[in-house]
Amino acid sequence: MNYTSCPRVSFDFTGRFLPPVLILVFIVGLVANAWGLKSLWQNWKKLGSVNVFVLNLGLADVLYLLTLPFLVVYYLKGSEWIFGATFCKITRFCFNLNLYGSIGFLTSITVYRYLAIVHPIKVLGRITVAHSVTISVLVWLLVAAQSLPDVFYIKTSGNQTGQCYDTTHDTSVEDYLNYSLGWTLTGFCIPLLITLGCYGHMIITLCSKINSNKDMKQRIVRLMFILILLFSVCYIPYHLFKNLNLWSRVLSKNGKCHNWFNRVYIAHQISRGVVCLNSALNPLVLLNTSKDSGSVLTAARQLIMRPFISTVSTGVNEDQQLHHQELGRRRL
């Protein structure tokens, strides 16, 4: 990147910050995902249709984690990519698959929870493993289609440093900014709104229906809050500062300088490190969820359906009483 007309941006911050973060994510992520996949295997039947999304989420994490050693070497060598232009694009493509695949599968899990809690009667027995497999395939195809244009942008520099850009070279930064904004809308903002809408409706439903079991209600609401918090912390800063950094590069390329350029660049690098943590946090969240997800969802479904069950039971009891009374009259 060439910023000759503006104050120098401290690119050396990336080399100091990202390597230890990526090493931590690689170690913790591999252990957590291995643990998560083992737990998934042991509780495959208990988790039901959701386990398909959990499996795909784990596969997306492992796919990205396997590229981290190469990125660590890259940043430790002062942003000098020695593994070839093709593998640079593959590495960045795997990151995008992991990032937006994780968002897609977390959103799918959220929608399934929403249907199970808010509309238990409508979906009872209608959601099968085949539906989950179909949705998972669609998520992979959609994420791949969104990520594919990124491959056609310039990813490596022509100078001796051999940089492997996470976005693209300055020559096409304007087009990439437009692409990134559209990508942010479809790949992140829409799933975020769906997630917030589902959890918001679930909380309202649980607070209005579950009055006899406050402990259960608090556990479910706390779980929802943790998931929304992690979703927001990992993904919102990354997309915000990624686009701001691209915009600062466009302004700098056009000779418009601002003092906030360096701060935005550093914030973007920090957000890149934070968003990588989703590969380590996803299995931990899912493990925490799967420990009692079946019991929590079952209890919530039963408590929500209790008025309907009570009505049916009352009707059956009344029919039985009328039947016994009729038999008594006949005996008389």
Tell me the pLDDT band of 129, cut-offs 50, 70 and 90.
Answer: confident
CA distance 253 to 230: 35
User: Using CA atoms, how far apart are residues 143 and 101, in angstroms rounded to an integer?
Assistant: 6
Question: Taking the CA atoms of the chain, what radius of gyration do you get in angstroms?
Answer: 25
pLDDT score recorded for residue 318 = 46
More confident residue, 286 or 272: 272
Provide the residue type at 308 as one letter: F
CA distance 90 to 144: 12
The whole-number pLDDT of residue 187 equals 94
Per DSSP, helices labelled H in 152-213 are 173-184, 190-209
pLDDT band at 123; cut points 50, 70, 90: confident
Pair 89, 60: CB distance under 8 Å:
no
Q: 55-81 in b/e burial notation, b at 16+ Cβ within 10 A?
A: bbbbbbbbbbbebbebbbebbeeebeb
Domains (range + CATH), the chain? 12-306 (1.20.1070.10)
228 burial class (0-12, 13-18, 19+ CB within 10 angstroms)? middle
Q: What is the pLDDT at residue 183?
A: 95
Residue 93, C-beta contacts closer than 8 angstroms, at least 6 positions apart: 147, 150, 151
Identify any residues that bridge with 45 across adjacent strands, giving them in sequence order.
none
Which of 120-124, 239-243, 244-248 shows the lowest per-residue confidence on average (mean pLDDT)? 120-124
CA distance 130 to 133: 5
- The 10 Å Cβ neighbour count of residue 215 is 8
Could you tell me the pLDDT band of residue 209, with boundaries at 50, 70 and 90?
Answer: low
- Location of structure tokens 């790949």: 187
Please write the tens of the pLDDT for every residue from 154-176: 998 765 457 899 999 989 999 99
pLDDT at 217: 67
What is the predicted pLDDT for the residue at 109? 86
